């Protein structure tokens, strides 16, 4: 008398359903943590821009123009007004202006949109103005 042992189709389907549910829960939690990390990283970069622009203004007597943009923080501008005392290596620890954590360029306003001397903005995960949650804009004026 031989008896075959194994899993029934129902048992296999139940096990697969449990694995799928657990995978979905883990994925949702990891995705939420990634969005939070990107928001924190963007806020940190905005603080660096704010510090660099303030130092630039103090040392050069003016902020970079819109035409010069944030590139003036990593390479000496060639358009007027030319900075009289541009430091070797620029104002950021980088050879190029970093992108925001979602791979989009930061937007530079001079003067800022709310009357401040300047403003640097990350347009969030969607790269579009406005939005909520991970799509919300982040700004040096926040």
Tokens matching residue 37: 């990390």
Is this model's pTM higher than 0.85 or not? no
Closest CA to 91 of 120, 115, 114: 120
Sequence ranges of the domains in the chain? 9-139
Q: Please write the tens of the pLDDT for every residue from 64-117.
A: 999 999 999 999 999 999 999 999 999 998 899 999 999 999 999 999 999 999
Q: What is the CA radius of gyration of the chain?
A: 25
What percent of the chain is modeled with pLDDT above 70?
93
pLDDT computed for residue 57 by the predictor: 95
> Residue 98 in contact with residue 73, Cβ under 8 Å?
no
Annotate 32-70 with DSSP letters as a single string.
HHHHHHHHHHHHHHHHHHHHHHHHHHHHHSSPPPTTTGG
Q: Which residue has the higher pLDDT, 111 or 6?
A: 111
CA end-to-end span of the chain: 78
CATH of domain 9-139: 3.30.700.10
């Amino acid at each position: 008398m031989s008896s075959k042992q194994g899993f029934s189709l129902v048992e296999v389907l139940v096990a697969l359903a449990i694995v799928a549910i657990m995978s979905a829960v883990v994925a949702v939690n990891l995705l939420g943590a990634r969005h939070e990390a990107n928001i924190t990283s963007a806020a940190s970069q905005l603080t660096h821009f704010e510090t660099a622009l303030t130092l630039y203004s103090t040392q050069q007597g003016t902020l970079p123009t819109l035409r010069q943009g944030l590139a003036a923080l990593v390479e000496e501008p060639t358009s007027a007004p030319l900075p009289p005392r541009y430091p070797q290596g620029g104002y950021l620890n980088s050879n190029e202006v970093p992108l925001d954590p979602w791979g989009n360029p930061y937007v530079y306003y001079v003067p800022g949109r709310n009357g401040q001397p300047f403003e640097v903005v990350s347009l969030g995960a969607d790269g579009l103005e406005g939005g909520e949650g991970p799509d919300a804009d982040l700004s040096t004026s926040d």
